[in-house]
Amino acid sequence: MASRSHVDVNERRLRPIYDSLDNGNNKKAIQEAEKVLKKQKDFQCAKVLKALALLRLNRHEESSVILQEVHAQHPTEDSTLQAMSICYREVHKLDLIADLYQNAFSGKPDNEDILSALFMAHVRLGDYKKQQQTAMQLHKLKPQKNPYYFWAVMSIVMQAHTSPDKKLSEKMYLPLAERMTEKYIKDDNIEAEAEVMLYLIILELLGKWQEAVNLLEGPLGGKFVSEFNLKDIKLAELYSKLENWSKANIIYKRLLQYSPDHWQYWLDYLKSALALIESSDQIENQNGKDENEETADDSVEKILELIEELSTKGCSPDHYNRGPFLARIKLISLLEKKDPEKSQVVGSTLQLLIEHFERFGDRSCCFGDFTLFLDQLTDSQKLQFFNSIKESIPLNGKPKEYALDVKLLQRHLIVLQVERYLGYLDPLPIPDKLTLIHDLIDRYRQGLQLSQDLLITDLQHSDNYLLLAVHLLVDLWRETSKDEYIWQAQVQLEQCIKKSPSNFQAKLILIRLYCTMGVFGPCPSLYDSIEIKHIMNDSLGHIVFNHVARLGHFVAACAMYGTMLRFFTVNHKETTEYLISSYKYGSFSKIYEFVKFRERLQNSLQFASATAERLLLDLIFETNSHSVTEQMIIYMEISPEDDKTNFDELRDNRDYKVMLNWDNPSKFNIEELQEKSFEEEKCWLRVRNYLLRILAAAVLIGQEAGTEAKMNGVTEIEKEPMTQTLQELSAKLENHIDDCVMYKEQYQLPYVLQAPFRTRLCYYLINEHHRVLIEMVEAVLYTHKLQQNNLELNNVEEERIKSAIPKLVAALVNTVEISDNGSTNLSSSVIENLVLCAETFSFTIILAGVCNRFLKPLKIAQTKKLKKKKSPLTELPPTFENFNELLKCLEKGVACLHLACKQINPGYLELDMSKLNLSQPLTDHADDAIYESEMWKKVEKSYEQAAQEISELLHNKLQYLHTLKL
Amino acid sequence: MTTIRPFTCDDLFRFNNVNLDPLTETYGLPFYMQYLAHWPEYFQIAESPNGQIMGYIMGKAEGSGEMWHGHVTALTVAPEFRRLGLAAKLMQNLETISEKKQCYFVDLFVRVSNKVAVEMYKKLDYSVYRRVLEYYSGEVDEDAFDMRKALPRDKDKKSIIPLTHPVRPEELD
């Protein structure tokens, strides 16, 4: 009793601290904790809660001192342990949680809660071996609790999944897991569905299909109740693997009776039926079948019977299921190769597709159905099909007829989409395409009348007319390189999203087109309006990621990279908790899935790229003196020795299927283009990572030089000197650039709206930005040597500083072609090159800053010597003068870029872009002119913004340069 | 024609064509993972033959005693796959699972303004059990209908007798 009241007192004392923490009032929590600690100075939990409050106030140092102290005392009390776990979780030191509970367990070996928490700590770390051991300890402690035993089994399965040695998995881990489960089955100890499920998982991993069938059909099969139809689905899969086609066929037939539209079941059903037909050709029908027993479908006739039976099952009159209908077409294509005669009995694909259009042509998914089969037709059949569906809708007469009911309009759209898919638009001459575009826009506008009962969240029925027109405009642009087509497309899309504010398709295209034209300004609000958040940062972030900094919108870039990175870091912390939940709820099938998912996020290309770009951007944008750079490099914790990105594990999580695409994959295969883009992205990321590591290495050498002098000759032997690392990195960058040559022409590739945009690598390579950096690294190493060996001058190196680097700098400035005629400067490549130059200048200046670190003390020393000797003949070595000249050259370069900024700033040039006749109105509709002038305002503003931001950056760089003079 | 199968984590990377619709909320990862870990059987996705995601349903079973019921947390179908009866099919599956779990009823919340959805649920035999005031927060808060359908275990259909007064979100159990 006494001890109970003691607990109550403690609880009561801690209450105010908990309350303050819950309310987010961390300062108050600290005060409350201190109050308690005055009375009870060894109150562990109060201490830890104080540490937690400190942590949340970002006072990490103080917090960790307290945590270390309590940790060393090996606490065992529950609330203390929990509070400490929270602290460690917040700083993501998951190994300390395991250590904490390991210590607590030693103190209280019979405490189930502590041991269970220790298990979870190992789960967070993904330490499967220790998980297994801990689960077995739990099992020994509470042998009557089944879950603990199966946690151990699952931990073994995870070792099998993750073992690099596949043999070990097959011969040791999985058999062990199997034996352990079988023991429970033999002893009749199985309780939960989850336990049988785990057994099934193990059998499947072992490839023991027959055993798995036995399990499902045996008494334990009755345990599978949660997941819908799971038993049948699994059995059918297993029978297919065992090539027991008749059993598989019977089950798929049963599943189809319940879901006549289930496409995967149809595919599997057909596969099994065809396998049966083949085998029964050889061995005549098996004899002695029970009359009542279900029989498999082993003939085309029987298949057709099922298709007939299910085609209207569960439908209202005059309605049909699409599944059976398409299954018939699928059957033809499957039979064509094996038994062409039979396939003709089933029907003709051409005829069935035409019928399909009659039945389902008023649904937008109809186009997707066609894409499955259209390519199987011959060219003349394709044309026949197209003409037939086109003529089936009454819109071909003269004068022009419009689709004035939604279903007819939908049918018309399908016809147009098929026309595009079949490539019939490609050979049209430009004037015909333009006529078509006008027609589509006209139909779009007419279709807006059908909007009476639409909600703001609905799309206009006729929106896709407009999108088809936009696709055609992009085709024209690709063909002719005339920008006016893109500007016109943008005008139309702007109007479209006014009428259909939730049409994300139109917004996705608009973002893409603006970025293509070098105009980033309107994109953030479009991006926000489609609410890209959470996981979409990874799958869709690319739509702005590749452009925002490329086009000089640095402030927006900071914000966007920040949001992306937060998504990855926060989720990496949070998602571990759901691994734990899966053990708790026995969702064993989800555990490996979650582990893989976490890896996929952690290895995301987007994550790695955003990390590199964010760091580089900070170094470019936030530095105006070398001391700021040095602080920043320390804060960034970049390790020059190793690349943080594991390129072999990198994953491409970008979604390029989201945009509507009516082109045939044989014209543009988006998947292939994405694979190529992924390789290019990796190459560019390597360049960026090398840059970061080079800068970090150089800056660190500069800092060391300052401290080494004080340490007076105490050298570190164990580590490779940083200068060597720097030298190697520079060589690696140079080699890597050689490997990238294939991307030099990337900007000339045909433009595909739905496919990934190129990286900045092509302009980087064309203008050889890496060269000045590599030369600067040599200069850093040389000046470092000068300082170390007290001025051993080398003429070649002096020449590098004196003329080689200045020449490269001047060449870079020339890449920003600025003409006197303002309007021609408004092109996306001008901004892109300007930004690239500004970046390279920033890096060059940082490296010059490192040189200054070596040369400045030297010069001071030299000047002193000179003064002492008072000899008029001795001069200062040429390096100082050469270096100052280099700075002057950089200054001049920055000034040129500054001027270029002004030249792209419509505000500065007092340009009214809408008056430049950069495009003609596409239609004579009054709205076109209004929207066009609005669009030009957006474009102007965007260029202005970019020009201002680049100017500001350059201004910072000038300041930086001024501090470097010797 | 559709393939309905369990939702997996990898689907989160490709459900954009569904989730960019303004009425479909994209949640933080913990939300999806909580459902996947706890009620994987209630999280189903529909895929078209050419591999596009058409829509999905998320749900759970909760409550005690006669309040033990299936709940529809989210149901969504991409614009181009609407009017195919897909939502009805997904609902039907969820009801079957709930029946197997011996639930008394299935319930869901829907914006009162979402007339299309309310009508659809009515067609599927759901009725308004109560109105929840300002359940959805936003620029303007919006009320929700709590709609229910009794399952065979609730023989007398007690669970769906409508409340006469609207309730506030904090009064929900």
Instruction: Report DSSP state, residue A735.
Output: H
Q: Does A312 touch chain B (CB under 8 A)?
A: no
User: Looking at domain A2-223, does it have CATH number 2.160.10.10?
Assistant: no
Distance between CA atoms of B28 and B31, rounded to whole angstroms?
A: 6
Mean of pLDDT values over A494-499:
94
A871-910: pLDDT as tens digits: 555 667 889 999 999 999 999 999 999 998 888 887 777 7
Nearest one of A214, A219, A259 to A234, comparing CA atoms = A214
Q: Give the model's pLDDT for residue A820.
A: 61
Distance between CA atoms of A217 and A200, rounded to whole angstroms?
A: 12
Angle at the Cα of A467 from the Cα atoms of A489 and A322, rounded to 5 degrees? 170
pLDDT band at A716 (very low <50, low <70, confident <90, very high): very low
B75 phi and psi, to 5 degrees? Answer: -140, 125
Distance between CA atoms of B101 and A2, rounded to whole angstroms?
A: 46
User: Residue B129 is part of which domain span?
Assistant: 3-171
Mutating which of A457, A583, A656 best tests the B interface, going by the most B Cβ atoms within 10 A?
A457
With a CB-CB cutoff of 8 Å, which residues 574-593 of chain A face chain B?
574-575, 577-578, 581-582, 585, 587, 589-590, 593
Q: Which residues pair with A69 in a beta bridge?
A: none
A95-140: pLDDT as tens digits: 999 999 999 999 999 999 999 999 999 999 999 999 999 999 999 9
pLDDT band at A719 (very low <50, low <70, confident <90, very high): low
Distance between CA atoms of A366 and A371, rounded to whole angstroms?
A: 9
Q: Does A359 touch chain B (CB under 8 A)?
A: no
Residue type, A692: L
Instruction: Report DSSP state, residue B79.
Output: G
Contact A761, A687 (CB under 8 A): yes
Is the Cβ pair A263, B50 closer than 8 Å? no
Q: Give the model's pLDDT for residue A313.
A: 84
Contact B106, B95 (CB under 8 A): yes
Q: Does A446 touch chain B (CB under 8 A)?
A: no
Contact B38, B31 (CB under 8 A): no
pLDDT band at A955 (very low <50, low <70, confident <90, very high): very high
Check residues A708 and B11 and name the one with the higher pLDDT: B11
Write out chain A residues lying below 8 Å of B80, CB-based.
364-365
* Residue boundaries of the structural domains of chain A: 2-223, 242-280+296-606+618-626, 629-962
Q: Does residue A823 register a pLDDT over 70?
A: no
Q: Give the model's pLDDT for residue A174.
A: 96
Contact A49, A21 (CB under 8 A): yes
Q: Give the model's pLDDT for residue A5.
A: 61
A271-302: pLDDT as tens digits: 999 999 988 765 544 554 555 567 888 889 99
Q: Does B92 touch chain A (CB under 8 A)?
A: no
Q: Specify the CATH number for the domain of residue B161.
A: 3.40.630.30
Mutating which of B5, B14, B20, B140 best tests the A interface, going by the most A Cβ atoms within 10 A?
B20
With a CB-CB cutoff of 8 Å, which residues 136-165 of chain B face chain A?
none
pLDDT band at A870 (very low <50, low <70, confident <90, very high): low
Cis upstream peptide for A399 (omega within 30°): yes
pLDDT band at A317 (very low <50, low <70, confident <90, very high): confident
Q: Give the model's pLDDT for residue A825.
A: 58
pLDDT band at A310 (very low <50, low <70, confident <90, very high): very high
Number of compact structural domains in chain B:
1
Q: Which residues pair with B74 in a beta bridge?
A: B58
A67-77: pLDDT as tens digits: 999 999 999 99
Nearest one of A198, A205, A215, A233 to A588, comparing CA atoms = A198
Q: Does A371 touch chain B (CB under 8 A)?
A: yes
Instruction: Report DSSP state, residue A218.
Output: S
Q: Give the model's pLDDT for residue A399.
A: 77
Q: Give the model's pLDDT for residue A815.
A: 85
Contact A67, A48 (CB under 8 A): yes
Write out chain A residues lying below 8 Å of B12, CB-based.
535, 539, 597
This model of the complex carries an ipTM of: 0.95
Nearest one of B55, B95, B94 to B75, comparing CA atoms = B55
Contact B74, B33 (CB under 8 A): no
Distance between CA atoms of A96 and A99, rounded to whole angstroms?
A: 5
Nearest one of A957, A848, A944 to A893, comparing CA atoms = A957
Mean of pLDDT values over A754-765:
94
Q: Give the model's pLDDT for residue A712.
A: 45
Q: Is A93 exposed, middle or buried (0-12, 13-18, 19+ CB in 10 A)?
A: middle
CB nearest A535 (choices: B12, B40, B101):
B12
Q: What percent of chain A has pLDDT over 70?
A: 94
pLDDT band at A415 (very low <50, low <70, confident <90, very high): very high
The DSSP H or E segment spanning B56 is strand B53-62
Q: Does A571 touch chain B (CB under 8 A)?
A: yes
Q: How far is CA A268 from CA A10, A250, A256, A280, A301, in A?
A: 64, 11, 10, 18, 17
User: Three-state DSSP class for A396?
Assistant: coil
pLDDT band at A714 (very low <50, low <70, confident <90, very high): very low
Mean pLDDT by 10 residues, chain B (173 residues): 91 96 92 96 94 95 95 93 89 94 95 91 96 89 95 94 92 79
Mutating which of A365, A543, A663 best tests the B interface, going by the most B Cβ atoms within 10 A?
A365
Check residues A395 and A810 and name the one with the higher pLDDT: A810
Q: Does A528 touch chain B (CB under 8 A)?
A: no
Mutating which of A252, A263, A502 best tests the B interface, going by the most B Cβ atoms within 10 A?
A263
A547-560: pLDDT as tens digits: 999 999 999 999 99
pLDDT band at A2 (very low <50, low <70, confident <90, very high): very low
Instruction: Report DSSP state, residue A721.
Output: P
Q: What percent of chain A has pLDDT over 90?
A: 75
Is the Cβ pair B1, A597 closer than 8 Å? no
Mean of pLDDT values over A394-401:
80
Contact B13, A653 (CB under 8 A): yes
Write out chain A residues lying below 8 Å of B20, CB-based.
504, 530-531, 658
pLDDT band at A869 (very low <50, low <70, confident <90, very high): low
- When the pLDDT of each residue in chain A is averaged and rounded to a whole number, the result is 90
User: Three-state DSSP class for A789?
Assistant: coil
